[in-house]
Structure 1
């Protein structure tokens, strides 16, 4: 735009012309502000979304790793035994709740990460530990694999393989509960804890004090019977 000031004859001023560009108007500054406002809003939305996804990712594995499996099998007399197992794949734990015909529940915890089995029998004042063997790992692994497809199993008496294991309680080797890993520490709080060892049988001079039947979806039932060794 060219502006010219010419001297009027009355004031004898020199004529002067200047060449300037167009002046910036308020309307021309609006797109620039709108860009930064939109960019800030987008960044805030991205940060909020990432935060929510991170929170859900923390919650999701825990909820998905817990699977409850129900197992029903008739005992040797034909009475149905109801059992349930909570499979925690994230922490490598399988917790059995074994309900007897008298409606009393014992708990058996398989900790495959530390290679231990913890028995908490009903009507007993103690917990009993045993180191896992290869057969224990195989049975637990079969349960974990089956739990991804089904959560309820009805075992047949004719197809079920039954085994009996005898565990001698080492009363002299008492374990400090505070040294146990979770969740064994919580499971056995206010109880005495003893190691056990596997044996062929208690012998005629010893008595079997109690047994716990544990059944797996692979049609394998193990009857674990305890007896106390001499001091």
Structure 2
């Protein structure tokens, strides 16, 4: 495109010509100054909107991919298969087990790796129970995190190779937790219940009864039976 020139004094604007012979008002002429900046602003706005929508869609896809449901099947003591599910949230380092009892009641166990806590929500009780994770807990849960849920979402544990352990947990009734002070994952799980701290113990006093047990199986061929009882005040 040639450079336009116009004799501003003594010549009508409509007679202005470009060096290539085309009038200023033709499609070959430049946009006026204000129109140029309006066009540029509108183009940038459209680009920003498109980038924002693209980023939002990619973030939604990543979030959906980071949370997967894993099924774990293991035979019980009598050899009958037991199914339990675990939701693995890689983005937030959360693993949530759903355990169905023989009475068809569901208990929930949440492993919060970021905060190093385990939260038990049993079907047999009206409360939630917190415990700090120890090294064995991290090792067991990492078996789920190491195996990409996209590659494997169903673990079949052989009965002969599966180790079974029993852990005793004492409930500290004097240390009730304010639910509103808990972080979002724990607060959402226990918002309608009282929450108590617990700690690992060697075993209950012979005079005290075990109130309930929760069985959890991990892909590392380890099944843990966590049994709760109340410690003396």
TM-score (norm 1): 0.82
Q: Which whole-Å deviations, capped at 9, do the CAs of 1:11-45 have from their partners, x for residues lacking one?
A: xxxxxxxxxxx9613388412358x6997786565
Q: Deviations over 1:130-150 (max 9, x none)?
A: 000011111111111124320
Q: Choose the corresponding residue for 2:199, options 197, 200, 207.
A: 197
> Which residue of structure 2 lines up, in the alignment, with residue 119 of structure 1?
120
Residues 174, 200 of structure 1: alpha-carbon distance in 2 compared, 3 angstrom cutoff: same
**Equivalent residues in 2 for 1:1-80, closer than 5 Å:** 24=17, 25-26=22-23, 29-33=26-30, 43=44, 46-80=47-81
Q: Would you say the 8 A contact 2:124–2:212 is kept in 1?
A: no
Query: Are the aligned partners of 1:79 and 1:101 in contact in 2 as well (CA < 8 Å)?
Result: no
Q: Tell me if 1:211 matches 2:213.
A: yes
Alignment map for 1:178-193 (pairs within 5 Å): 178-193=180-195
Structure 1: state its 5+ residue gaps: 1-21
Q: Tell me, which stretches of 5 or more residues in structure 2 are unaligned? A: 1-14
Take 1:31 and 1:60, find their aligned partners in 2: how far apart are those partners? 45
- Provide the C-alpha distance between the structure 1 equivalents of 2:186 and 2:158, rounded to a whole number of angstroms: 32
Q: Say which is worse superposed, 75-84 or 85-94, in terms of deviation.
A: 75-84
Contact 2:16 2:23 in 1 (8 A): no
Shift of 1:198: 0.6
Q: Tell me which residue corresponds to 2:159.
A: 157
Cα shift at 1:219? 0.8
Is the 8 Å Cα contact of residues 62 and 90 (structure 1) preserved in structure 2? yes
Query: How many residues are treated as equivalent by the alignment?
Result: 210
Instruction: Supply the distance in 2 between the matched residues of 1:175 and 1:226 (Cα, whole angstroms).
Output: 18
Cα–Cα, structure 1 residues 75 and 147, in superposed 2: closer, same or farther, change >3 Å? Answer: farther
Alpha carbons of 1:85 and 1:187: their partners in 2 closer, same or farther (altered >3 Å)? same
- Check the 8 A contact 2:71/2:86 in 1, yes or no: yes
Structure 2 equivalent of residue 3 of structure 1: none
After superposition, what is the alpha-carbon deviation per residue over 1:53-96, rounded to whole angstroms, capped at 9, x for unaligned?
22223322221210110111111122322111111111111110
Q: 2-side partners of 1:38 and 1:172: how far apart?
A: 69
Secondary structure of the equivalent of 1:207? coil
**Within 2, Cα distance between the matches of 1:218 and 1:225?**
21
